[in-house]
A = this chain, B = another copy of it.
Amino acid sequence: MTTHVLSADQIHGFIQEHFPQAVGFAHVTAVGEGRLTIELEAGEHHLRPGGTVSGPTLMTMADTAMYYLVLSLVGPVALAVTTNLNINFLRRPPPGVLLATARLLKLGQRLVVGEVAIHGPGAEADPVAHATVTYALPPG
C-alpha cells in the first residue's frame, strides 16, 4: 500500500510558493495508488520543426510528473533533485492536450525511482514518450 501525504491541491499550493516559475506549465489531474497524472495544453511555443511537440517539452513533463509524485509521497521537500532521467521518444505528438502519468517503482530512503508514460487523451496504448526518472532525497 502506497500512502500519499499531499493532495493535488496541496501540490499546487507548494509549487506556487516554492517554484513560481513552474506554475502554469502543467497541473495535476489525479493522484493515488502510487501514481500521479499531470496535464499540459501544448501550444505554439512547445513545438519543434515539423509542428510536433518538442523533446524538451516532453522531458520537462516527465521530470515534472515525477517531481510532483515525489512530493505527494514524501511531503513538501523542495530540495529533492533529479539524479537520472532516461527518455525514449516513441511517436511525434501534435499540439493539444498531453497527459503524463508517473508511477512509483521504488521509494527508498535516499532514492525514489519511477516511470512516466506520456500520451494523448484516451491513447494510453500508444504513448508518445516513456521515461524512467530517479530523484534523490535530501539527508535527514
Contact = CB atoms under 8 A, between A and B. Distances in A.
Interface residues of A, number: 40
Contacts of A91: 106
Contacts of A59: 56, 59-60, 63, 85
A100 to B, nearest CB: 13
A51 to B, nearest CB: 11
Nearest to A15: B49
23 contacts: A18-B49, A19-B49, A21-B44, A21-B47, A21-B54, A49-B79, A50-B78, A55-B63, A56-B59, A56-B63, A59-B59, A82-B89, A83-B88, A83-B89, A84-B84, A84-B134, A86-B87, A88-B132, A88-B134, A90-B105, A90-B106, A91-B106, A130-B132
A60 B79 CA distance: 21
A110 B109 CA distance: 12
A115 interface: yes
A98 interface: no
Contacts of A92: 81
Contacts of A82: 55, 89
A127 interface: yes
Contacts of A54: 21
Interface in A68-127: 78-79, 81-92, 105-106, 110-111, 113, 115, 127
